[in-house]
Amino acid sequence: MEQLKMLWELQELEQQIKQKERELQNIPSVIEHQERSKEFDEFQHKLQQREEEKRQAQKKQRSKELELQTVSSSIKKTKEKLYSGEVQSAKELESMEKKVQSMQADQSSLEEDILGLMEFLESVDQELQTLYKEEEQKKEALEKGKQTAQDDFASAQEELEKLQKKREALAGQIEEVLLKKYYRHSKKAGGRCISLAKEGFCGICHVSLPSAFRARMLTPGQLVYCENCGSLLVPGD
Ligand SMILES: [Zn+2]
């Protein structure tokens, strides 16, 4: 009798263990942390893209500035030559004037480009400042969430280990033959197969049991099964 009661307790413990194992896979704080981490990765990716755009614009700005210097000094030199009186040929003078005009057009277009890049860089910088602040906040929240998730996971695991130890200790007290029978039966039933009968009802399918069952259940060595669900009956009162 004691043996059957222990077997029922073992079954209930195993149900609790299964439940805990499911819970361990679905801890809300862990799931939330995983989602937050993914979001943070995406955010950082966006930030890095902005930084790369900034670098590219700076590079472009430097090269345009160098180009502008070259064009400006070329204009200066050509103008000096033009007004020095060295060149006498009208044709040559005309060609030099045209060259100056063309270079001046290049110069103003370069200046315009540089101005545009400066404006772009200013707006990217402003955006980056906002993003860096946001990054700090997100990082902090992520760390906190990580800690909570780790704590929750550890405590759920601890509870599971406690249940498993309890289960082991209990199983050690039950006769091998009975255990084997239970596992075979449980596998076939696909779940609980030991029923704690109370007040004349099966504890699993809740069908009313014939009154003769009680006496049979109390007979040592007798295994009585519910006629409706096939569970092994254990007297619960
Ligand atoms: Zn039943």
Q: Is 182 exposed, middle or buried (0-12, 13-18, 19+ CB in 10 A)?
A: buried
Residues 102, 28: Cα–Cα separation, whole Å? 69
Query: Please, which pLDDT band fits residue 87 given cuts at 50, 70 and 90?
Result: confident
**Per-chain residues with Cβ under 5 A from ion ligand 1:** 202, 204-205, 226, 228-229, 231
Give this prediction's pTM.
0.72
Quote the pLDDT of residue 137: 97
DSSP run (H or E) holding 232: strand 232-235
Residue 232 pairs with which residues in a beta bridge?
Answer: 194, 225
Task: Give the pLDDT confidence of 13-63 residue by residue, as tens digits.
Answer: 999 999 999 999 999 999 999 999 999 999 999 999 999 999 999 999 999
Q: Count the Cβ atoms, other than its own, within 10 Å of residue 30.
A: 19
H or E stretch including 149? helix 90-171
DSSP state of 1: -
Q: For each of the domains in the chain, give its residue range(s) and CATH number, in order of start.
A: 20-171 (1.10.287), 176-235 (no CATH)
- Cα separation, 39 vs 149, in Å, equals 16
230 Cα to the center of ligand 1, angstroms: 6
Distance between Cα 206 and ligand 1 center (Å): 6
pLDDT digits (tens, 9 = 90+) for 95-152: 999 999 999 999 999 999 999 999 999 999 999 999 999 999 999 999 999 999 999 9
